[in-house]
Structure 1
Amino acid sequence: MRTQNLGSSTLQVPVVAVGCMRIDSLDAAAAQRFVGTALEHGAHFFDHADIYGGGRCEELFADAIGMSSSVREKILLQSKCGIRQGMFDFSKEHILASVDGILKRLRTDYLDVLLLHRPDALVEPEEVAAAFDQLESEGKVRHFGVSNQHPRQIELLKKAVRQPLIANQLQLSITNANMITQGFNVNMENDEAVNRDGGILDYCRLHDITIQPWSPFQFGFFEGVFLDNPKFPELNAKIDEVAAQHGVSNTTIAIAWLLRHPAHMQPVTGTTNTERLKDCIRASEVTLSREEWYSILLAAGNTLP
C-alpha cells in the first residue's frame, strides 16, 4: 500500500488506517483472519481507543495479532483517550492512567500515536502538556494528535504543548462533507455555507496535520451507510458507474474519493469484513479524475454556487 508522512512527522504510515472499534464482534479465529488480512495487504497502521469495547477491543487485538516484540516492530499503533462515563477528561492524571491501561491491554511498551478523543470543556493546556512531556520522556508515546477538534481548540493546546500535533481524526464522508463544501460556498445564503468546524480542513493543511476521516461510509451521525442504500439512488448510481470504469467495488471508490483530496487524508476503516477491508485497502491504487471526484460530490446532493 502507498505510504505518506503522518502530519509534520517523519512517521511513514499506510494511506488507509485499520479501525478496530468493532473487533470485539469477532470470535478469536475471525479476529486473527481480520488482522492477518490487513497485514498481508500492507495495512499495518491500527487505530484504537480506550473506550472501544470498554478496553476489550485492545485486548482482543493483542491476542489476534499474537503481540510480541518481533510483531510490534512491524506495526504502527494509535489509540485515543479522554472519554469517560458522563464526561470528557484531559487531566494529566487521567491521560497518564489511560495510556498505562492502553499499553497493558495492547501488550506493548509504547504507542506510535496518542490522540485526545473528544474536546474537554475543562481542559487546562498546561496539564495536557505535562502529561505529554512525561509520556514522551518515558518512551510510552512517540507522537501526539487530537480528534474531533476545531482550530481554536488546537491553538489553545499549542499554547502549552510543545510536541507537534500531527493528526486530527474527524467525521468525514461523501455524504458528510460540509468540511469540504463550505469552502466554495463562501458568503452564500445557503446551508452549505454554514461553517460548522472553524475551517478545520484548511487549518490542518496549513499546519501539516493529517486529517483521519472516521466513519467514511456513514451518513448523519451513525444513521447508517450510504452505499447500496435506497435513500441515495443518484449517489449510488454514480459511484457504481465510476467503480465499473475502474474495475473496483463501490467500497473502493468511497475511500478513493477521500484519498483524492490534496489534504492527503488517512481514512480510518470501520469494517470487520475481510473482503470489504481489502476493498478499502485497494483504494490506495485508484486515483479519481477531477471530473469523477466532483460528479460524486454532486450526486450526493451537494451543489456548486
Structure 2
Amino acid sequence: MKKLKLGKSELEVGEISLGCMRINKLEKKDARYVIENAMDTGVDLFDHADIYGAGESESVFAEAIDMNDDVREKMKLQTKCGIRDGYFDFSKDHILESVEGSLKRLKTDYVDSLLLHRPDALFEPEEVAEAFAVLKESGKVRYFGVSNQNPMQIELLKKYLKEDLIVNQMQLSVVHTPMIDAGFNVNMQNDPAIMRDGSIIEYCRLHDISIQAWSPFQHGMIEGPFVGNKEFPQVNAKLKELAEKYGVTDSAIAIAWILRHPANIQPVVGTMNTERMRNIAKASDIELTRQEWYELYTATGNELP
C-alpha cells in the first residue's frame, strides 16, 4: 500500500486506515484477525474514539492484539474525544480525563494523534491549548487534529495553539460530496452552490492539513451503504464497470475515487470483514483517470455547470 504523510507531521501511514468503532462486537480471536489482516494489507493507522462502544472498542482492540512494545511500534493509534452523553465537551479537564482513559484502555503510553470530535459551541480555545500543551509535554499525545470542523473554527483554535493541527476528519464518499459541490457552482443560484463548510477542502490544502474521510461507503449519515444498494443504480453501474476494468471490487473503486483527489485524503474504512478489507486495500494500486473520476461524480446525480 502507498504511504501518505499526515499534515506537517512526521507520521507516514498507509493511504487507507481502519476505523475501529465496531470492533467491540467481535470475539478476541476475530478482532485479532481483523487487526493483523489489516496490517498485512499495509494499513497501519487505527482510528478510535472514547465513545466507540462506550470505550469498549479501545479495550477490545488492545486485548485482541496483546498490546506490547513490539506491537505498538508497528502501528499508529489515533483517538478522538469531546462527545459526551447528550452534549459536547472540549474543556481542559474532559480532554485530559478522556486521554487518560483511552491510554489505559489501549494499554499504551501515548497515542500518535488526538482529534477533537464534533465542534463544541461552548469551547474556550485557551482551555484546549492548555490541555494540548500538557499532553504534548508529557509525551501522551504526539500530534493533534480535529473532526468535522470548518475553517473559522480551526483558525480560532490555532490562534492559541503551539502545535500544528495535522488532520481534519470529515464525511466524504462518492455520494456525499458537499465539500466538492460548491467548488463547481461558484456564483450560481442552485442548491449545490450553497457553501456548507466554508471551503474546507481548499482550506486544508492551503494549510497542509490532511483530510480523513469517514463513512466512505455510506449515504446520509447512518442510513447505510450505497455500494450494491438498488436505490443508487447509476453509481453502482459505473462502479461495476470500473471494477471490471481494473480487476477489483466495487468498494475498491469507491475508495480509489477518494484517493484520486489531490487533497491528501485518507479514507477511514470501518469494515470488520477481512476479505473485504483485503479487496478494498487494492484501491491503493489504482489511479482513476480524470474522466473516470468525473463520470463517477456525475453518476450520483451531481451535475456540472
Q: Could you say which TM-score interval applies, normalised by the shorter chain?
A: over 0.9
How far apart, CA to CA, are the structure 2 residues paired with 1:29 and 1:127?
41
Paired residues of 2:168 and 2:212 also in contact (CA < 8 A): yes
What secondary structure sits across from 1:131 in the alignment?
Answer: helix
How far apart, CA to CA, are the structure 2 residues paired with 1:177 and 1:4?
22
Q: Which amino acid aligns with 1:10?
A: E
What secondary structure sits across from 1:263 in the alignment?
Answer: coil
Q: Which amino acid aligns with 1:252?
A: A
Match of 1:172 in 2: 172
Structure 1 residue 41 displacement after superposition? 1.4
Structure 1 residue 146 displacement after superposition? 0.2
Match of 2:59 in 1: 59
The CA deviation string for residues 245-277 of structure 1, in whole angstroms up to 9 with x for no partner, is: 000000100000000000010000011111111
The CA deviation string for residues 51-98 of structure 1, in whole angstroms up to 9 with x for no partner, is: 000000000000111100111011100000001111101010000000
What secondary structure sits across from 1:174 in the alignment?
Answer: coil
What is the aligned residue count?
A: 305
What secondary structure sits across from 1:267 in the alignment?
Answer: strand
How far apart, CA to CA, are the structure 1 residues paired with 2:136 and 2:144?
9
Q: Which amino acid aligns with 1:122?
A: L
Paired residues of 2:249 and 2:280 also in contact (CA < 8 A): no
Q: Which amino acid aligns with 1:291?
A: Q
Q: Does 1:154 align with 2:154?
A: yes
Taking structure 2 as the reference length, the TM-score comes to: 0.99
Q: Which amino acid aligns with 1:219?
A: H
Match of 2:96 in 1: 96
What secondary structure sits across from 1:29 in the alignment?
Answer: helix
How far apart, CA to CA, are the structure 2 residues paired with 1:177 and 1:279?
24
Match of 2:232 in 1: 232
Q: Which amino acid aligns with 1:118?
A: R
1:257-276 correspondence to structure 2 within 5 Å: 257-276=257-276
How far apart, CA to CA, are the structure 2 residues paired with 1:280 and 1:136?
34
Match of 2:86 in 1: 86
Structure 1 residue 33 displacement after superposition? 1.0
How far apart, CA to CA, are the structure 2 residues paired with 1:134 and 1:109?
14
Structure 1 residue 32 displacement after superposition? 1.2
Q: Which amino acid aligns with 1:284?
A: S
Match of 1:33 in 2: 33
What secondary structure sits across from 2:152 in the alignment?
Answer: helix
Structure 1 residue 13 displacement after superposition? 1.1
How far apart, CA to CA, are the structure 1 residues paired with 2:152 and 2:199?
10
Runs of at least 4 residues off by over 4 Å: none
How far apart, CA to CA, are the structure 2 residues paired with 1:175 and 1:4?
24
Structure 1 residue 28 displacement after superposition? 1.5
What secondary structure sits across from 2:71 in the alignment?
Answer: helix
Match of 2:144 in 1: 144
Match of 2:13 in 1: 13
How far apart, CA to CA, are the structure 2 residues paired with 1:256 and 1:65?
29
Match of 1:294 in 2: 294
The CA deviation string for residues 110-156 of structure 1, in whole angstroms up to 9 with x for no partner, is: 00000000101111011000000000000000000000000000001
The CA deviation string for residues 161-206 of structure 1, in whole angstroms up to 9 with x for no partner, is: 1100000000111110011111011111111111111110100000
Q: Which amino acid aligns with 1:224?
A: G
How far apart, CA to CA, are the structure 2 residues paired with 1:194 and 1:220?
18
Paired residues of 2:144 and 2:164 also in contact (CA < 8 A): yes
1:157-236 correspondence to structure 2 within 5 Å: 157-236=157-236
How far apart, CA to CA, are the structure 1 residues paired with 2:230 and 2:189?
30
Q: Which amino acid aligns with 1:159?
A: K
What secondary structure sits across from 1:161 in the alignment?
Answer: coil
How many percent of aligned residue pairs carry the same amino acid?
Answer: 58
Match of 1:253 in 2: 253
What secondary structure sits across from 2:77 in the alignment?
Answer: strand
Paired residues of 2:214 and 2:267 also in contact (CA < 8 A): yes
What secondary structure sits across from 2:162 in the alignment?
Answer: coil
How far apart, CA to CA, are the structure 1 residues paired with 2:256 and 2:26?
27
Structure 1 residue 22 displacement after superposition? 0.6
Taking structure 1 as the reference length, the TM-score comes to: 0.99
Match of 1:107 in 2: 107
Structure 1 residue 36 displacement after superposition? 1.1
Q: Which amino acid aligns with 1:275?
A: E
Match of 1:121 in 2: 121
What secondary structure sits across from 1:8 in the alignment?
Answer: coil
